[in-house]
Amino acid sequence: MDAKRTNHRAIVKVIWDNNSKNRIGEEGGFPHLIYVSREKSPGHHHHYKAGAMNALTRVSAVMTNAPIMLNVDCDMFANDPQVVLHAMCLLLGFDDEISSGFVQVPQSFYGDLKDDPFGNKLEKLLCGFAGIQGLFYGGTGCFHRRKAIYGIEPDSIVVGREGAAGSPSYKELQFKFESSEELKESTRNIISGDMSGEPIVDISSRIEVAKEVSSCNYESGTLGWACGSMTEDILTGQRIHAAGWRSAKLETEPPAFLGCAPTGGPACLTQFKRWATGLFEILISQNNPLLQSIFKHLQFRQCLAYLTLYVWAVRGFVELCYELLVPYCLLTNQSFLPKASENCFNITLALFLTYNTYNFVEYMECGLSVRAWWNNHRMQRIISASAWLLAFFTVLLKTIGLSETVFEVTRKEKSTSDGNGQNDEVDPERFTFDASPVFIPVTALTMLNIVAITIGTWRAVFGTTEDVPGGPGISEFMSCGWLLLCLLPFVRGLVGKGSYGIPWSVKLKASLLVALFLFCSNRN
C-alpha cells in the first residue's frame, strides 16, 4: 500500500488469535484487536489527539457500540486486573446516571523517582476537584459513558426541562454523520438507551463501514472529544460537566494504571508548556468556564476549580513581573518592601511564613516528605518562569495572528524499572538542559538575580550609597536569595557540562536579555 504518514486512506484491520475457536462469522466471535489508522489528508485539519479519539469513537460505534469506553494512553498499562470491575461499580452503582458521566483514575507512574523531583504530582488538587462536581478528565485512565461523550445531557435534566426524555432527530443525526446509516442508528440507540437490538456477530463485516466513518469527511462537526485546544481532554471533561454530568474518582491499591512520567528538564517543561498553552486557549475562548457556569450546568465552585488551572499562563507573566521587581530595586538602589526596622516588616514576614507552612502541612497530610514539598515548590518557580511564561506569549501571538501554536510531543525517557536497570542518565533526578527556547527566560532570570545580589552586596559592604535614602533593605536581599535558591538547578547549569549544563546558545540569548534589562534600569 502506497501510504504516507500525513497522506493515506483509512486503514482498519480486525486481528484474530490464530488459536481462537471463535472465527469470523461464528456466533460469539470477538477479535483480540481492531487496528485503526484514520484517513489523513493535507487538506484537512486532523485535530491531534481529539481527532484520533473521535475517529476511534465512530469506528467502535459501528462495530460494537458499547455504552462504556476506556481511554488509556500508549505509555500506560493496566496494573490492577480488577480495574474494569471497580469502574463498573461506580458507573452503574448510582441510582441516577447523572452522577457517573465518567470515572477518572488519577495518574500513577512506574519507576517513580523519589520525592517527585520534577513536580509531576497533583494529589491535593485532584482531591479538591473530586469533592465538587467531580474530577476533571485527565486524558488517560478514564472510563467514559458513551452518551456523555456524545455531548448529551443526562435524562433527568432533559426530562426536567422538556417533560420527556428526548433524542436527536433523524435530520440532526444526518447533519452530524452525513450518509452513514449505521452510525446514525448506533448513536440513536445510545442516546435513547435502547440496547435491545441483536449484537453484531461478524465484526469483520463492518470493516468497510468503519473505513467510511474514519475518513476525513467526519473530522469536523461530529460528536465526541472537543477540539479547539491542545488540552482537549480538560475541555472535553468540562463540556461533560457543563452538560450536567458528574464524574467519579477511582483510586485502588495497587494503582489501576501505571504510566511513564516525564523526567529531566526538557521533557518536563515541554509538557507543562503544552498544558498551559491549551488551558489559556480555553480561558480566552467561548469555552470559558464562567460562560459555561452562567448559561449551562457547570457549578460555580467547579468553574472556580477549573480557573485555577486555566490561569497557569497568566500566572507565569504576573510572577515574572514580581520576580523582576526585586533585582530592579537592588540594581537601582530602591526599595518596595518594608525595612526590618519598620513594624509592617513583621506582617510581610508572617504572610511568607504562613503561606509556606500551610503548603508544607498539606504535603504532610498527603504522606509526602519535606524534600517532596521543596521539590514541588522549587519546580513551581521554574515552570512559572519558563513553560507558563512561553505559553502566555505563544497564545498571545496566536490571538493577534502573528503565529500558530504547535503541538509538541513530550519525550519520555526510558524508565529504570524495565528490568535491565540501564539508563543513559547517571542521575535521573538531576535537572537536564537542551537548546530549547523554554530555558531562555529562566536562565536570564537566574543571571539577573546573581548580578543584582552582587551589585547590591557591593554597595552595602563598601557603603557606596550611604547618603542615598530609600535604598534596598534585608527584605529585598532575602527575596532575591530565596528565588535563587529555587532556581538552584539553573545556577548549577550555568557551570555544568554535557546535558547537565545550559547550552551556550541559551546562555548567549539569556545574556542579551539581562544586558537589555540592565540598560533599561540604568536609564531610569
Known binder of ligand: residue 95? no
Residue 427 marked in a binding site: no
SS3 296: coil
Q: Are strands 102-104 and 247-249 parallel, antiparallel or unpaired?
A: parallel
Cell of 95: 441510582
What is the rounded CA–CA span in Å between residue 513 and residue 524? 17
Side-chain-side CA neighbours of 329 within 13 Å: the count stands at 22
**Conformation bin of residue 322: beta by default, left when phi > 0, alpha when psi is -120 to 50:** alpha
Cα 380 to Cα 395: distance, rounded to the nearest angstrom? 20
**9, 10, 16, 103, 170 from 5: Cα distances, Å:** 10, 12, 26, 34, 36
Nearest to 3, CA basis, from 17, 18, 13: 13
SS3 of residue 388 by DSSP: helix
Query: Residues 469, 154: contact at Cβ < 8 Å?
Result: no
Give the DSSP per-residue string, 115-172. Answer: T-TT----HHHHHHHHTTT-PPP-SSSEEEEHHHHTTPPPHHHHHHHHSS-----HHH
The Cα–Cα gap between 477 and 431 comes to 26
CA atoms of 506 and 524, how far apart (whole Å): 28
Enumerate the known binding-site residues.
Answer: 49, 73
- Sequence ranges of the binding site for Mn(2+): 49, 73
